[in-house]
Structure 1
Amino acid sequence: QKEIIEKSFGCSRFVYNHMLALQKESYEKEGKSHSKYDLIKKLPSLKKEYEWLKEVDSTSLQATIDDLDSAYKNFFREFKKGNNQGFPKFKSKRNPKRSFESKCVNNNIIIKDNLIKLPKLKWVKAKVTQNINGRILNATVSKTPT
């Protein structure tokens, strides 16, 4: 589980950086950027090129693209308002705070007592501080230096 979690952190960072480079290149050449759905459609070909991307949950890679799209749109929205918050930055391997998000598809995320079932990870120990009423939409796994 630790190995898959670490791989998920790395794959999410790789996909984020790869897709950000695509966005940047496309915008510089054509003045247009790809939509979130165009980027998600590129994932299968990226997985053929980089076989190790198949080892992690595909919904976490899609969620990474959602995060990138949000950062990209926020940059342009703020830029039009006159606020210069800076272009989205590439993620570093050296950043001690890492995370990835898994989307819930067909109830693949389940919480039971102090365990949570995540895609590709099966049952993982977790601190559940309150009862969850309703539907789970996603789960974020994060690692901090502490």
Structure 2
Amino acid sequence: MRKTYRYRLYPSKAQMSRLGDTLESCRWVYNETVALRKTSWETNEESISLYTTNKELTQWKKDKQELKQVHSQVLQNVQVRVDLAYKAFFRRIKSGETPGYPRFKGKGRYDSFTYPQSGFEIIDDRTIKVSKIGEIKAKIHRAVIGNVKTATIRRYPTGKWYVCFSTECDLMPEPHKNDNAIGIDVGISKFATLSNGSYIPNPRWVKQEEKSLAKAQRKMSKFAMGSDGWLKSLKVVQRIYERTSNRRKDFTHKLSRSLVDNYGIIVFEDLNIKDMVQNNHLAKSIMDVAWRMLIDTIKNKAECASSKVVLVNPAYTSQMCSRCGTIVKKELKDRIHKCNCCNLEMDRDFNASINILRLGLQSLG
């Protein structure tokens, strides 16, 4: 099982400067690798392999002294990222999607680098050591379980630094303490409606910060782009976005932990969110509630807790009567389910959650 642990770093000013220089060196290698592959195809119609770009990297390090200040495997990993970007590009072409060609990274657009095998060490719960940077203060607030495979250092837009350790561990979760099952219908008016009749209100994180964000953006617009005042205002805007993101993540993790601890079987609709956000009237609200984040977080926690997460076909879950199975046509504005056959009248989302639970249990036999 692969797990990731994220910890906050507190580098000194000198270390922040070296970390920033490392990111710039990685950005240079990334752009040069993209340019190399792009030129090769445009001139000779040849696709360069990762092995070929690695050989070019050796020559680049001889010509550019700054690259010698970066761990060799970090630079190799940058070229692995380019290779993965090209593989994803060709995969999208084959599947008929609209592909986006790998882009060059502008200044400030490259924000992380990875030690794929070595060059890093956890000294204690307050310090980590990374090659070419030195010992950095860190807050290791929980123990790292398993064999650490990679370490990724990332700079966030607000200037905060974090390290993520990816580990591989042999985890044998105990059987779940109960077989309770729950069906969950996610929505916008209510964040989630459960098949036991309870519901979770929508926190609407973006709406909570709309006024603060608009005020900060208005202030930023008064300055010339790139000026000291503009950069200072930009930091305020970035902090608002970060605060919204942190609240969303905190809510999602707490809710997912509660569901996984109390239910052995959790059933959701397998929603096509990519198509749903094409609706211009609902796109902002759909992106704010982050249904996919909730489902993915529950899946990750369920794997360690021996819970089962089931995704069912969403077709007719809202239209079908949960008592008699009759299809009752509704528009999106209709919030009450009324069945003319069995006279069942209940909340539309509650009715859907019962249908979702039934389909999930049927799929499990």
Do the two structures share a fold, i.e. TM-score over 0.5? yes
Provide the rounded CA distance (Å) in 1 between the counterparts of 2:73 and 2:104. Answer: 21
Provide the rounded CA distance (Å) in 2 between the counterparts of 1:21 and 1:145. Answer: 26
Aligned counterpart in structure 2 of residue 67 of structure 1, from 81, 84, 97: 81
Question: Which residue does the alignment assign to 2:126?
Answer: 114
The code of the aligned residue for 1:102 comes to Y
Provide the rounded CA distance (Å) in 1 between the counterparts of 2:83 and 2:137. Answer: 31
Shift of 1:132: 1.4
Q: Cα deviations across residues 64-106 of structure 1 (Å, max 9, x unaligned)?
A: 11111100110011111111231011000043x611112223x
Question: Which residue does the alignment assign to 1:19?
Answer: 33
Question: Which residue does the alignment assign to 1:140?
Answer: 152
Shift of 1:61: 0.6
Question: Which residue does the alignment assign to 1:87?
Answer: 101
Question: Which residue does the alignment assign to 2:115?
Answer: 102
Question: Which residue does the alignment assign to 2:331?
Answer: none
Provide the rounded CA distance (Å) in 2 between the counterparts of 1:94 and 1:43. Answer: 22
Deviates more, 1:11-20 or 1:39-48: 39-48
Which secondary structure state, in structure 1, belongs to the residue aligned with residue 147 of structure 2?
Answer: coil
Unmatched 5+ residue regions in structure 2? Answer: 1-14, 159-365
1:26–1:34 contact (8 Å) kept in structure 2 = yes
Q: Cα deviations across residues 15-55 of structure 1 (Å, max 9, x unaligned)?
A: 00000000001111222211112111211100111111111
Q: Percent identity?
A: 36
- Under a length normalisation based on structure 1, what TM-score does the superposition of the two structures give? 0.90
Which secondary structure state, in structure 2, belongs to the residue aligned with residue 137 of structure 1?
Answer: strand
Question: Which residue does the alignment assign to 2:181?
Answer: none
Provide the rounded CA distance (Å) in 2 between the counterparts of 1:15 and 1:71. Answer: 14
Shift of 1:125: 1.4
Q: Cα deviations across residues 108-137 of structure 1 (Å, max 9, x unaligned)?
A: 321121211111112111232431122222
- Under a length normalisation based on structure 2, what TM-score does the superposition of the two structures give? 0.38
2:70–2:132 contact (8 Å) kept in structure 1 = yes
| Bigger fraction of residues in strand | 2
The code of the aligned residue for 1:101 comes to T
Higher relative contact order (CA 8 A, sep 6+): 1
Provide the rounded CA distance (Å) in 2 between the counterparts of 1:78 and 1:61. Answer: 26
Moved over 6 A (4+): none
